């Protein structure tokens, strides 16, 4: 049993920053690849970023250079630092855990709204 709980979303203005957190409840956090996805109203869920169990990172082109993913294995937490936010970043952001050998886990999502 794995549970993911996102936090840190909110309403900000363009150019502002936020840091999202995802708390992992389970036995083997350090063995999971952890990722962030987002879904805007009326659109499909899209990949944002991922960090592997050993710290390798990848980003969608739309956020590269602005967002930074990190993990703290001692706290069983993954973060997404979001700088220079744009209205186009408005979405529900979901945390993902991928063991590579079983089905993924998903959090409930946290809302990020960026005003012009």
Identify each DSSP E strand in 8-66 by its residue range. 10-13, 18-25, 33-39, 46-51, 57-59
| Confidence (pLDDT) at 24 | 97
- For 76: left if phi > 0, alpha if psi spans -120 to 50, otherwise beta; the answer is left
- From first to last of its 116 residues, what are the pLDDT tens digits of the chain? 899 999 999 999 999 999 999 999 998 999 999 999 999 999 999 999 999 999 999 999 999 999 999 999 999 999 999 999 999 999 999 999 999 999 999 999 999 999 99
The number of residues making up the chain comes to 116
Which 8-state DSSP code applies to residue 83? -
| Confidence (pLDDT) at 77 | 97
């Amino acid at each position: 049993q794995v549970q993911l709980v996102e936090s840190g979303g909110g309403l900000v203005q363009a150019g502002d920053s936020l840091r999202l957190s995802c708390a992992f409840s389970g036995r083997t956090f350090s063995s999971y690849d952890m990722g962030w996805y987002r879904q805007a109203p009326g659109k499909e869920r899209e990949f944002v970023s991922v960090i592997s169990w050993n710290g390798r990172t990848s980003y969608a082109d739309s956020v590269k250079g602005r967002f930074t993913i990190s993990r703290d294995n001692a706290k069983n937490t993954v973060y997404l630092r979001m700088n220079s936010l744009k209205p186009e970043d408005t979405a529900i952001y979901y945390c993902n855990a991928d063991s590579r050998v079983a089905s993924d886990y998903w959090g409930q999502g946290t809302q990020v709204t960026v005003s012009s």
